[in-house]
Amino acid sequence: MGTVPAVTGIDWTVDSVTVGGTTLRAPARAHVKIEDDRAAGSFGCNRFSGTAQITGDQFRLSHVRTTRMACDNARMTFERTLSRTLTSGPLTMTGEGGKLTLTASGGDRVQLSRA
């Protein structure tokens, strides 16, 4: 098990999301920044903002608002998958060396790296 890195005030690039054993690579624009109990960024097409709660090694994203642009199917599929995973409940944070992994209770995960 990795340690919990500092996660706030850092621009995180989303690398991938893995759901049900299938990994989707992130579009170039997918990113998130967590600051002052808020999270904001891009799911890959649409921008989002929401409430971020960090308790120990747990991260929870809620009350998410997004823009409503349409993009190509691949980006929209990634965006829906990432959004569902990030808002699925508390995610366990682990990481080191500029990497951060957010893991849901069922094993789905989001991989991020320091921008």
Asked if residue 40 lies in contact with residue 47, where contact means CB atoms within 8 angstroms, the answer is yes
Number of domains in the chain: 1
pLDDT, tens digit, 9 for 90 and up, residues 34-65: 998 999 999 999 999 999 999 999 999 999 99
Residue 2 confidence (pLDDT): 56
- Our CA angle for 7, 65, 70, nearest 5°, is 110
Structural domain for 40, as ranges:
11-114
Specify the higher pLDDT residue, 96 or 19.
Answer: 19
pLDDT bucket at 4, cuts 50 / 70 / 90: low
Query: Tell me, what's the pLDDT at 6?
Result: 84
pLDDT of residue 109 exceeding 90: yes
CATH number, domain with residue 31: 2.40.128.270
Q: What is the pLDDT of residue 115?
A: 83
pTM, 2 dp: 0.92
Does residue 72 register a pLDDT over 90?
yes
Does a structural domain hold residue 5? no
Integer-rounded Cα radius of gyration of the chain: 13
Residue 112 structure tokens:
């991020």
26 in a structural domain: yes
- What was the pLDDT predicted at 86? 97
Give the per-residue pLDDT at 56.
92
The 3 state secondary structure assigned to 54-94 is EECCEEEEEEEEECCCCCCHHHHHHHHHHHHHHCCCCEEEE
Distance CA 35, CA 47 (A): 16
- Taking the C-alpha atoms of residue 6 and residue 28, their distance in angstroms, rounded to an integer, is 23
CA distance linking residue 72 with residue 54, whole number of Å: 33
